[in-house]
Structure 1
Amino acid sequence: MSETTITAWTVPPQVRPQDDTTRYLCAAAHLDSGYADNAIREFLTEPTRPLPHSPGFDPARVLVEAIASRGRRKLRDGILAVLFGLFVWASGPSLLLFAWLALAVVLVIPSIWRTAINVALKAAVVAVLGAFTLAGLLLYLIGTIDPETTEDFTGGYYSDYYGPPPGDEEVWFYVSIALVVLMLAILVTDRLVVRSLLVDRFGYRARNRPPADPFTAERPLLGLCPPRFLRQLHRYRDAEQTPQGTVPLFVHRGYNPFVGAGLHRESWSMALPLERLPEDRKPDGSPFDELTTPLLYERVRAAMAVLQESESLSPDRRLRELSIREAVFASSAELIDHVNQPESVVYLRGLDSAPERHLPPGEVTALRQQPREWARYYLCFQVETWDRDLVMSSFLHAAADASTLYLEWTPCVLPPVRDRYRAVDKLPSGVIAPIGQALLRLARLPVTVWGRARHTLEWIQPLRQDRGLINPDAYGSLRTLREMAAADEVDSYFQLVDVERYEKILHSRLMPAISRILRDCGYSPASFERQAATVIHKEITIHGDNYAPINTGANSGSMDGANVQSAPATGD
């Protein structure tokens, strides 16, 4: 048997291939209108909203595709709304119109049933649509048999007032058919353009080609978008690198401060009274160290850095790429509340500008020693696994004095991109699928045309600013583009156990490190070790709220406890 060498997609050494995450998020902007509009609403409407730190993908490219997608959809929907209005005028209250409406209602019922909030709402919407369709069809049939019967309801014939001139009904029938064919042609063209874009620019074969410059490729559609979107877009393209010696600042709005980290796992916290050892010195005769919060962070960081030398502890040696970094998280509402205080200047230099992306070393040092109520220092540990599809992040906050040690640990997981966005790698070739999609959209047009007309005329507006008041939501991030596209769960059993693996490995280094720190500072680690034993036990996963020193529970085998959910997807 001859050997077969797979070389079809070998990347030339001089070509820098596209990263998969950026490809999938760009495709998501064209596959999901809700994703594109939410991205524009979140990142391009407020000039004072911070640029969230988004390592691992290019947010500027994704936002360009979101703008291009919205421009394409508005142009398509506007033309369809006008053509459908002309069709209604040309056909009048014909059997063709009512039959099309009935077919559209039948086709839209399954999607309503899937997306409606509860059964009662589903039934109400379906009943209203069905009643209107049946009433219109019945009215048409009665009018056909006895026109005088329906004059009290219609005030005469529809065509006498709103339809085409009388006579030549056959001509107007063909005009109606021509309008339907033209609408189908527009839908087919739209589907073919989107399919070609997805396959050629973001499909599997495009992964080994250098990414095209979206500011050039999408120039015609970008020229149609509001200038304020373009101004904000250039902020992302021109985002600076992290200055030397500074620490990233995350200004958030809402409940969750860890923007970009995904779903919360079970966190824990503990407050331990410290007991002095009977000895006066370390075993080697040197004096005990002074227990301070900066010392604790420094020692924990050094202990975790040992994992970066691991050869076989993690699949594909992912721990060698363990990221250990500092970060400060601040609340936008509290930042605005303290905007007139001198210490807030390094966070927000003016109400007309966005919060700073980085904090100077002096402020970071002060926060490490003494946190503010509205700004906290964290030591962050992050592992990107499964080709960056799965990201594990853990955040440590600590405080210590001569009598008490406080520890707070918050693990998070960012699941892979949703299957519907990654399906761009498996799109079939040919025109059969796009034509089928266009026919289905045409059949549903009488029900969806009102939404299309509203979408054409709808503008994404900035947040409302009442006179004399500052809206703090304009200064905080809620989530990143990657979080908006994340699935609700992991894809496979191996990914699930890897989440557990990295949590337990980090714990296995954190707990002994803290014990050593307590000993080196002259304190007994016994109380801490008794509580830590339940945390690092191989059959125990942290579970529950942060009320007791440590709350634990049996592993349920799923990512329950996640309380930061992704937005539901909507179709294009």
Structure 2
Amino acid sequence: MSLTEIAMARQPGGGDSQAQGRAPVEPAASEACRLLCAGVHLDGGYRDAVLDELYLHEERFVAPSTGIDAARVLAHALRARRTELGWAVGMLALWISAVPLTSGLFLLLVPPCVLLALAPWITGRSPRAPWYRKAAGFLVLWYGRFLLAGVLVSLVLLGFSGEDPPSEVELVSEGGSLLPGLSGGFDSLAEPGRAWAALILFLLIMVGVGLRRGQFARVMTNELSARRFPEVSSDPAELASGARYQRLRARIRAEQHAPLVMYHSANPFRGVGEPFRPWTLAVELRPRKDRKPVPVDNGEILRRIVPLLEALRVPSPHGSPEAADAVRDRLRELRVDECVFLPVDGLTRRDGAPYDDASFGPHRDGSVEEGGEARRHFLRIRVGGWHEELVVTVFVRVHTQGGMLMLEVAPHVLMPVRPQFREADRVAHRYLNNSFIGKAAWALAHAPESMGQALLALVRYLVSAWELLTGGQAGALPDGPAVSVRELGSDSEASLFQEMDVSRYLKSVEDRVAGGVRLALYEAGWQTAEFEQKIVNVANGGVFIETAQDSAIGIGDHNSVSNRNEGAGSSNGRD
């Protein structure tokens, strides 16, 4: 029986539904998962990263998918790529066929389209881009718009007049300096019929751009809508065929939420976010004078912690059961379980990892007390807030050795989903409810980018297909996860409310962990004064560091605590 099962059996009222708390939403139906599925339709770079990690490199174990279902994100990534590939082939066919169909007159549209496509790249995506990049992007953007307007007006005038190209065409072809010397060549070709053909073909390109945005809007209002997304079985992306996808989907869902974590040595905690002030505390076990102490092992200490943590689910008295049940605090959805970290070294097949209960049980039981280096046992406490967009995970490890007790606490915070993905519903709603003129204006503004986007999409697909064909990933030795789908889709910042919630969750969990260790020591007949004093130092920030990597932590008599990133140190006196 595991630690959490023992603790629940010993906890008074352990079978009470209120003490059990409230179950969080299923990962496959969470809001965070929905937004990441929207993200693979919106952002080609994010989609490629998902496909590279989960579909191409099938030798890699999937990172823990905190609050989401990575298999469902993969399904939508594959669907989005198929849709984009079909669109890209159609758009390239239009751009390429337009040149011979207009006897080269369509090439007049290429220079302004290239400028308009380059303008966003020059400016950059960062809102904090340097002023010179913003200025250069602004100039290129408006110069491209001026040239495009000149070409379109010239073609319209030519189509109605039936005469040689007016001065506007000459201005674009000669004064634009991007197609020098072509004016004379186009004079003999610029017939009204070809001018109308060029305009019609450009209109078809606009229609293609509009259809692509309309298709995304329909996906957001149907299978990815907040109302329909929880119905996993009816998601068209889940019905995708292909033996490779079906095999990978089964593996991902077997691994992503399992208590066994197969890790890469470069980042064992990949998938749960950034480290948030991890700390270690060491105290010497000294017997109390009023009684003879009894030995305490790691499992016994952890068993004392679990009931105190699970009590955080219970709402405070509110006068009635109904009022208490209406409390929406995310601590009611707190989850406590055990996990074992295992390195992938030594495995010859990905399906050889001990994920089944019969194989995992010995690993769990053996790792609790052994204090090993590669195989590590943790108590994992998790709180998912803001519809699983903000996830706090605290890993707790206890180790007793040589009359010392070591308490390791490693909090991690998974930040909210990218703002671009959170805007997906607004983008779809704005487009669907826009007027015909508004949709046409949007398509006109984005049509110049379509040639580059279509070409890039086709190149990315061909590169991925070549790597899949020649990379040999299917027969490669198993490897740990290189990236996390959830982390790749996360923002770098949180709102003030979210930061306040992170602080509250962590303080609540860390206080209960410390209380459980203190109780275990006291009831076993050991002194707790030193432990209590050092916990006060931890609460005051005395041992917090930004990361545990390449850092040393020491607490006690005349020890020095320093943060390598800051290069500063502080000394603790005798406590």
- Shorter-chain TM-score: what band? 0.7 to 0.9
User: Which position in structure 2 is the counterpart of 1:228?
Assistant: 244
- Contact 2:79 2:237 (C-alpha < 8 Å) held by counterparts: no
- Pick one of 481, 488, 492 that aligns with 1:477: 481
5+ long unaligned stretches in structure 1: 1-16, 148-156, 160-165, 282-287, 340-347, 555-572
Partner residue, 2:529: 526
What TM-score do the two structures reach when normalised by structure 2? Answer: 0.72
Counterpart of 2:417 in 1: which secondary structure? coil
What one-letter code is carried by the residue in structure 1 that aligns with 2:57?
E
Per the TM alignment, residue 533 of structure 1 is displaced from its structure 2 partner at its CA by 0.7
> What does residue range 529-548 of structure 1 map to in structure 2 within 5 Å?
529-537=532-540, 542-544=544-546, 546-548=551-553
Contact persistence 2:89–2:454 (CA under 8 A):
no
Q: Deviations over 1:408-444 (max 9, x none)?
A: 1111112222232222343233254654443222123
What's 2:380 paired with? 380
Asked whether 1:140 is paired with 2:179, we answer: yes
Q: Give the CA deviation at 1:98.
A: 4.3
Partners of 1:326 and 1:266 in 2: how far apart? 21
Asked if the contact 1:535/1:552 (under 8 Å) is kept, the reply is no
Change (3 A) 1:310 1:382: same
Query: What are the equivalent positions in structure 2 for 1:276-425 lying under 5 Å apart?
Result: 276-281=287-292, 288-311=293-316, 316-332=328-344, 335=345, 339=346, 348=347, 350-351=348-349, 353=351, 355-358=353-356, 359-425=359-425
Query: Residues 292 and 424 of structure 1: is their aligned pair in 2 closer, same or farther, counting only changes over 3 Å?
Result: same
| C-alpha deviation, 1:501, in angstroms | 0.9
TM-score scaled to structure 1, two decimals? 0.72
Cα displacement (A) at 1:126: 7.2
Change (3 A) 1:241 1:32: closer
Contact preservation (8 Å) 2:255, 2:355: no
Contact 1:292 1:401 (C-alpha < 8 Å) held by counterparts: no
Summarize deviations over 1:163-194 as a string: whole Å, max 9, x none.
Answer: xxx86854444433333222222222111111
The question of whether the paired residues in 2 share the 8 Å contact of 1:323 and 1:381 is answered with yes
Residues of 2 paired with 1:274 and 1:204: CA distance? Answer: 54
Over residues 192-241 of structure 1, what are the superposed CA-to-partner deviations in whole Å (9 max), with x where a residue is unaligned? 1111111122234546x744523x5675xx45xx753343234446x499
CA 312–486 in structure 1, closer or farther in 2 if over 3 Å, else same: farther
CA distance in 2, matches of 1:142, 1:240: 63
Structure 1 residue matching 2:259: 3-state secondary structure: strand
* C-alpha distance 396-352 of structure 1, shift in aligned 2 (>3 A): closer
Q: Alpha carbons of 1:71 and 1:553: their partners in 2 closer, same or farther (altered >3 Å)?
A: same
Go from structure 1 to structure 2 and tell me whether the alpha carbon gap of 1:174 and 1:410 turns closer, same or farther (over 3 Å shift): same
Task: Confirm or deny: 8 A CA contact 2:206 2:444 kept in the other structure.
Answer: yes
1:97 corresponding residue in structure 2: 107
Report sequence identity in percent. Answer: 22
Distance 1:173 1:259 in 2: 57
Greater displacement, 528-537 / 172-181 = 172-181
User: Residues of 1 paired with 2:89 and 2:390: CA distance?
Assistant: 40
| CA-CA distance at 1:21 after TM superposition | 3.0
Could you tell me which residue of structure 1 aligns to residue 87 of structure 2? 76
Q: Which runs of 5+ in 2 are unaligned?
A: 1-27, 148-171, 319-323, 564-575
Read off the aligned partner of 1:323 and give its amino acid letter. R
Contact 1:250-1:357 at 8 Å conserved across structures: no
Which one-letter code corresponds to 1:455 in the other structure?
A: R
Return the structure number with greater helix share. Answer: 2
- After superposition, the CA RMSD in angstroms is 4.2
State the Cα distance separating 1:395 from its structure 2 match: 0.4
**Does the residue aligned with 2:409 lie in a helix, a strand or coil?**
strand
Counterparts in 2 of 1:120 and 1:250: CA distance versus 1, 3 Å: farther
Among 205, 209, 214, the alignment partner of 1:187 is 209
Q: Deviations over 1:24-70 (max 9, x none)?
A: 22222212222222222111223333344436444333222111101
Equivalent residue pairs, number: 485
Structure 1 422/118 Cα, relative in aligned 2: closer, same or farther at 3 Å? closer
- Secondary structure of 1:542 counterpart: coil
Give, as a single letter, the amino acid of the residue that structure 2 aligns with 1:200: N
Aligned pair 1:48/2:59, yes or no?
Answer: yes
